[in-house]
Amino acid sequence: MNEESNTPMKHSGRPTQTDIDYSDPATWTSHDDQLRQQLVQHGPMQIFDMRFPRDKTRGNFSSFHYQRHLPAGEVMHRKWLQYSVSTESVMCFCCKLVGLKRISSLSSIGLRVWKNLSSLLSSHEKLPDHLDNVGKWKELEQRLKKHKTIDDETRCARERVENYCKEILELLIALVRVLGVQNLSFRGTNEKLHSAGIGNFLKFVELIALFDPFMSEHLCKMRNEETHVHYLGKNIQNELIDILANAIKEEILRNAHAAKYFSIILDSTPDMSQVEQMTAIIRFV
C-alpha cells in the first residue's frame, strides 16, 4: 500500500486536526478552508499495492481503473480517483473537496458498483460539473504553489493598508513633537488645507508634502476623496498630544521613583480664557 504516515494538522486559533489520512477521502469529514488547502497542496494519494476486498457479487476494485483508455490507444491517468479503505469504495478527489454540490456518489458517500465501474467513471469525468471542479482544483493548486490564495491576497492588502497608515502616523507624531518642543500652537481659525488661517499643524503638513512624495500622495488622495481616514483632524491631533504627554509623564515618574530624594512644586496661572492651569514641577537627584 502506497501510504504516508498520518500527519497532524494545526490551525491558528482552531482545534487541531489530527490523523489526516491522505489516502482515504472518506475520513475527510471537515471541509474548512485550512483542511482543503492542505489536502490540495499534498495532492490525491492513490493505493496500488493492495489486495482489494471483494463484495457479495465477488467483484472488487482494481488499480486498472486509475487509468482511462482512449479509443486511439492513449492512456490518461485519473489523478482524481481515490480508493477509500474505510468504506471500500471509490471517490472523486476534486468533487469531494471543491465541489459546491454532490453530483454523484463519487463526491459524497463513495461508489461501490464494481461491475459497471468503467462506464460509470467514464460518465462522471465527462460531466460539466466534474470538469469545472477539476479546473477549480488545479487553480487552487497553482495559487498555493505561488502563495496567491484569496487569504494571502487579503492579508497582503491588509498589510499594505497597515504600513500606509503607519507611515502617515510616524510623520504626524514627529510633527506633534516638534510643535510641542517649540511651544507652538496647533490650530488656527480654519481646518481646511490650502486655506488661510489653518494653523501650524496643517501648514507644516503642507510643507512636508512639498518634499515628501508619501505625504504628497496622501494629500492627493484626500483631495480626490479616495480616502476619508486622513489623520489630520483636531481629534487625532488631541489624541496624539495626549499619547505623547502620557509617555513623558510615565518617564518622569519612573525617574522620580528611581531617585532617592525628590521634591514637588505646585504653581498655577490663568490661561487666555482666565481658567487657572496648575503646573506640577518634580525635582530629583
Considering just the CA atoms, what is the radius of gyration of the chain in Å? 34
Q: Residue 11's pLDDT band (boundaries 50, 70, 90)?
A: very low
Alpha-carbon torsion (250, 251, 252, 256), positive or negative: positive
d(CA 47, CA 81): 10
199 closest CA partner among 170, 237, 228: 237
Q: Residue 3's pLDDT band (boundaries 50, 70, 90)?
A: very low
Residue 4 above 50 pLDDT? no
Residue with cell 498520518: 6
pLDDT per residue over 238-261, tens digit each? 999 999 999 998 998 888 888 888
Model pLDDT, residue 178 = 93
pLDDT above 70 covers a percentage of the chain that reads 89
Q: How many Å separate Cα 114 from the centre of its chain?
A: 44
Model pLDDT, residue 13 = 40
d(CA 149, CA 144): 6
Residue 10 above 50 pLDDT? no
3-state secondary structure 130-175: HHHHHHHHHHHHHHHHCCCCHHHHHHHHHHHHHHHHHHHHHHHHHH
Model pLDDT, residue 1 = 42
Model pLDDT, residue 8 = 38
- List, in sequence order, every residue forming a beta bridge with 9; answer none if it has no partner: 17
Residue 103 above 80 pLDDT? no
pLDDT above 90 covers a percentage of the chain that reads 18
Q: Residue 56's pLDDT band (boundaries 50, 70, 90)?
A: confident
Model pLDDT, residue 2 = 43
**If you average pLDDT over residues 54-58, what whole number do you get?**
83
Indicate the average pLDDT of the chain.
83
Model pLDDT, residue 205 = 92
Residue 191 above 70 pLDDT? yes
Question: Which are the contacts of 47, defined by CB distance < 8 A and separation ≥ 6?
Answer: 1, 2, 3, 23, 63, 82, 83, 85
pLDDT per residue over 202-244, tens digit each? 999 999 999 988 888 888 888 887 777 788 988 999 999 999 9
d(CA 251, CA 257): 10
Residue 18 above 60 pLDDT? no
For 122-160, letters b (16+ CB in 10 Å) and e give eebbeeebbebbbebbeebeebeeeeeeeeeeeeeeeee
Note the pTM of the prediction, 2 decimals.
0.46
pLDDT per residue over 131-182, tens digit each? 888 888 888 888 887 766 566 667 777 888 888 888 889 999 999 999 999 9
Model pLDDT, residue 155 = 74
